[in-house]
Amino acid sequence: MLDSLSQLYLPGAVTMWCALFFGLAAFYGYTRARHGDHDTLAFARRGYLFFTLSIVLGSLVLALCLMRRDFRIEYVYQYSGLDLPFHFQLAAFWAGQKGSFLIWLLFGVLLGVPLSRSAGRAEPTVMAVYILTLFGLLFILVRENPFVMLAETPVDGTGLNPLLQDDWMVIHPPVMFIGYAAGAIPFAFAAAAMWRRDTSTWVNRAFPWTLGGFLVLGTAILMGGYWAYKTLGWGGYWGWDPVENASLIPWLLGTVLIHGMYLERTKGRYRRANLVIACLLYLSVLYGTFLTRSGVLADFSVHSFVDLGISRFLLLWMGFFLFASLYLLVTRLSKVETNTNEDPLLSRGLGLVLSTVVVTVSAVLVTVGTSAPLLTRFQENPAQVGPEWYNKVHLPLAILVGLLLALIPFLTWKGTPASELLRKLVPSLGVALAITAVAAISGVEQPFHLLYVFLAGAALAANLQKVITMARAGGLANAGGYLAHVGVGIMLLGVLASSAYDQSAKVTLEQGVPRQVGDDLTLTFERYVPRQGREKEHMEVRVARDDGFTYLARPKFFLNDRSRQLMVNPDVKNTLLRDFYISPIQYEPGQPPGVDHRMQLGRGETTTAGDLTIRFVDFNLSDTGDPQLALADGGLVTLGADLEVRSGDGEAVSVTALYRFSSGGQVQTPPVELPGGGMIAMTGINPGVGKVQLDVAGIGSVPQKARLSLDVTRKPLIKMVWYGLYVVLAGGLLSTWKRYKTARLIDAKTA
């Protein structure tokens, strides 16, 4: 329902309505301009400009309200608070459903500006479809307006969820939403091409956009994995959680589309398939949004949102584009001319086709797995599948990917004879054998894992060889694809090593007592460090390896100020070959040696504490020296008290308690252990009447030391996962640049 006017913050709400108005105008203008009318085109462009401005303005209003902590506005009240530092106030923008739809829409309209410039003569149809994709988001925001006001103005907001108060919260979600927004672009090109019945050139213009979207989404996924691993303490970078999968599926389909576009650009193949894949890519974005935003997976996901009452609308949105895509594909596809070459077995064409099939199968499996709760809904009990299933079915796929990536660099379109291929593969196979040998020595035994390592190593080496050859010939700019595949090889190795060969141990440490963990690690819980300023309270744990390598781990265990939730941060130590991942499990502060008995005794007096009998015999000045001299130097003066302590009917034991003080007011009262447990300390002295104050603690029981329970995990080669992905993205960046230039070149020719 639309909220009544008085409940809305008008400066913000008006921008949403304006956006709707201008968006419709632009959509109308672009559909009318598709036959080449320049005036209508100018009208449509102006409409889009105002559409964009409205959304930018609306976002600025929301951001300003968050900055000003205007708690009249419900959204600000729900996600912000007085205690939030500046950058989290900004991040509160995308902490909730409404705001995250708004930022998605914001990036969507902004991307539309360069998109309209790059679409050339296809601009009217491409933009009409693109605006249609933005309407889904806009309708949600008009319906569920982020500018709803509260009846009364609260003094403080409820604050940002402590789990989200992390620096990654500032950057990860916006990048993710740029990636989602870019997912609509290949679809806009493809659908517009089918609408115009001219599917011959769309790929050329859509190619750099698809690569760019793939890059941004990949970066967002990398950041999310890093966040989960480093600070959330989830133990891993990937958990096959529905929300993670919702971003992975479009990314996998983006990978397929990139390769399909490559095939179309170079060999005129996949003309039909690319249209289908572009539609699927966008539909997967919508499906992922439906799964994670509608609340259907609420019981199955780490971070799915509760239902805002928009699930029906999300279904409608998805249904609309599903049927629109189906209609276009059914009516247009059969008329698309495509090359169907006869590929010999060992040819580049067949290799590429197979790669797209393998990645598509992966995307399908992830979709099916994520949908398990929906698929089983009508059975007895809804069910989900755990990470094991995903890992199991992806092992054969990863092996195939390794095989294909190792072969393709040396295959030609016409086909390469087996003997020649083998000869060219010799260096890579050598490297792969060496890597496999190292793996086998390091404890990899399972035959499938060895095969995986061998092929991933071969893929890495083969593509690296190709990159080097091309770079030497001065063609590094064209080697983006090979570079990306070097990264895939590195990643494959890192994923297997860090997830299948991690070693984990749980240990409980007593403060100050070293304990051995695993074969060669010794851990000592040194101390608990209280909060200092913005530095959270944490533990200091000394980690020492037998070979002398040592460091101080600082796992955190702290209470969030506002919610009193107990928060956990792991400590991660990167070394060349492995990460040491230390998560706190439990902290027992122990019994601080508090004062059990306090007594004042004059010289020669006797008293009892528990079953102890204590007599103050005399002062002991043997360590005192010249007090005047010591005080003048600022040093400590030591006074002693000779005591006679008897436990029950036992022998009397003599102990000397010490009291040290300086002129600066510094006092030390070192406790002395008593026979039969417990401590005694001289905590005060009254020289005038010759009395001492004694504190006795923990008699009859040993004082409990603080204990810290930890999970210590060694993750081998996890760095290769990150570095591999960096290399993939670097390769993608090179290719994006190259395809962007090609698209510009063809534009210049046709203009």
User: How near is the Cβ of 264 to other proteins at its closest, in Å?
Assistant: 19
Yes or no: say if 174 and 103 are a contact pair by the CB < 8 Å rule. Answer: yes
Q: Between 534 and 564, name the residue whose CB sits nearer to other proteins.
A: 564
User: Which of residues 72, 267, 573, 707 is near other proteins by CB under 8 A?
Assistant: 707
User: How near is the Cβ of 525 to other proteins at its closest, in Å?
Assistant: 13
Q: How far apart are CA 583 and CA 233, in angstroms?
A: 7
User: How near is the Cβ of 556 to other proteins at its closest, in Å?
Assistant: 10
User: How near is the Cβ of 94 to other proteins at its closest, in Å?
Assistant: 12
Instruction: For residue 581, give the nearest of 559, 555, 542 by alpha carbon.
Output: 555
Question: Under rule CB under 8 A, how many of the chain's residues touch other proteins?
Answer: 75
Binding mask 424-463 for other proteins (x = CB under 8 A): ----------------------------------------
User: How near is the Cβ of 565 to other proteins at its closest, in Å?
Assistant: 4
Instruction: For residue 406, give the nearest of 482, 468, 349 by alpha carbon.
Output: 482
User: How near is the Cβ of 744 to other proteins at its closest, in Å?
Assistant: 37
DSSP assignment of 540-572 equals EEEEEETTS-EEEE--EEEE-TTT--EEEE-EE
Q: Between 38 and 564, name the residue whose CB sits nearer to other proteins.
A: 564
Binding mask 481-510 for other proteins (x = CB under 8 A): ------------------x--x-x-x-x--
User: Which of residues 365, 431, 529, 544 is near other proteins by CB under 8 A?
Assistant: 365
User: How near is the Cβ of 702 to other proteins at its closest, in Å?
Assistant: 17
The structure tokens listed for 130 are: 């693109």
User: How near is the Cβ of 479 to other proteins at its closest, in Å?
Assistant: 29
User: Which of residues 83, 166, 711, 747 is near other proteins by CB under 8 A?
Assistant: 711
Q: How far apart are CA 360 and CA 439, in angstroms?
A: 30
User: How near is the Cβ of 586 to other proteins at its closest, in Å?
Assistant: 4
146-205 residues near other proteins, rule: CB under 8 A: 158-159, 161-164
The structure tokens listed for 593 are: 């040696």
User: How near is the Cβ of 82 to other proteins at its closest, in Å?
Assistant: 15
User: Which of residues 552, 566, 629, 667 is near other proteins by CB under 8 A?
Assistant: 566
Pick the piece of the chain touching other proteins (CB under 8 A) from 131-139, 375-383, 687-695, 736-744: 375-383
Q: How far apart are CA 458 and CA 372, in angstroms?
A: 35
User: How near is the Cβ of 281 to other proteins at its closest, in Å?
Assistant: 21
Instruction: For residue 565, give the nearest of 88, 171, 91, 160 by alpha carbon.
Output: 160
Binding mask 68-87 for other proteins (x = CB under 8 A): ------xx-xxx--------
Instruction: For residue 30, give the nearest of 112, 133, 123, 137 by alpha carbon.
Output: 123
User: Which of residues 200, 331, 516, 563 is near other proteins by CB under 8 A?
Assistant: 563
For residue 448, the tally of other CB atoms under 10 A from its CB is 11
User: How near is the Cβ of 540 to other proteins at its closest, in Å?
Assistant: 19
223-282 residues near other proteins, rule: CB under 8 A: 232-236, 239, 241
Q: Between 379 and 628, name the residue whose CB sits nearer to other proteins.
A: 379
User: Which of residues 322, 421, 568, 599 is near other proteins by CB under 8 A?
Assistant: 568
Counting contacts by CB under 8 A, is residue 514 touching other proteins? no
CB-count exposure of residue 102 (10 Å: 0-12, 13-18, 19+):
buried
Instruction: For residue 46, give the nearest of 71, 72, 21, 17 by alpha carbon.
Output: 21
User: Which of residues 451, 476, 529, 567 is near other proteins by CB under 8 A?
Assistant: 567
Q: Between 110 and 346, name the residue whose CB sits nearer to other proteins.
A: 346
User: How near is the Cβ of 68 to other proteins at its closest, in Å?
Assistant: 18
DSSP assignment of 418-434 equals HHHHHHHHHHHHHHHHH
Q: Between 184 and 404, name the residue whose CB sits nearer to other proteins.
A: 404
Yes or no: say if 681 and 673 are a contact pair by the CB < 8 Å rule. Answer: no
Q: Between 509 and 699, name the residue whose CB sits nearer to other proteins.
A: 509
Q: How far apart are CA 558 and CA 426, in angstroms?
A: 55
Instruction: For residue 8, give the nearest of 200, 208, 143 by alpha carbon.
Output: 143
273-302 residues near other proteins, rule: CB under 8 A: 298-302
Residue for token pair 């029981």: 701
Q: Between 148 and 329, name the residue whose CB sits nearer to other proteins.
A: 148
376-415 residues near other proteins, rule: CB under 8 A: 376, 379-389, 392-393, 396
Q: How far apart are CA 96 and CA 103, in angstroms?
A: 11
19-38 residues near other proteins, rule: CB under 8 A: none
**CB burial readout 8-45, b (16+ within 10 A) else e:** bbeebbbbbebbbebbebbbbbbbbbbeeeeebbebbb
332-351 residues near other proteins, rule: CB under 8 A: 340, 342-345, 350
H or E, element range at 314 = helix 311-332
User: How near is the Cβ of 709 to other proteins at its closest, in Å?
Assistant: 6
Q: Between 55 and 160, name the residue whose CB sits nearer to other proteins.
A: 160
User: Which of residues 585, 599, 617, 655 is near other proteins by CB under 8 A?
Assistant: 585
Instruction: For residue 109, give the nearest of 444, 481, 381, 101 by alpha carbon.
Output: 101
**CB burial readout 714-750, b (16+ within 10 A) else e:** bbbbbbbbbebbebbbbbbbbbbebbbeebeeeeeee
**CB burial readout 591-602, b (16+ within 10 A) else e:** eebeebbebebe
CB-count exposure of residue 429 (10 Å: 0-12, 13-18, 19+):
middle
Q: How far apart are CA 433 and CA 457, in angstroms?
A: 8
82-121 residues near other proteins, rule: CB under 8 A: 96-97
Q: How far apart are CA 232 and CA 164, in angstroms?
A: 9
Task: Write phi, then psi, for 540 (nearest 5 degrees).
Answer: -110, 120
Encoded amino acid at 532, one letter: Q
User: How near is the Cβ of 228 to other proteins at its closest, in Å?
Assistant: 9
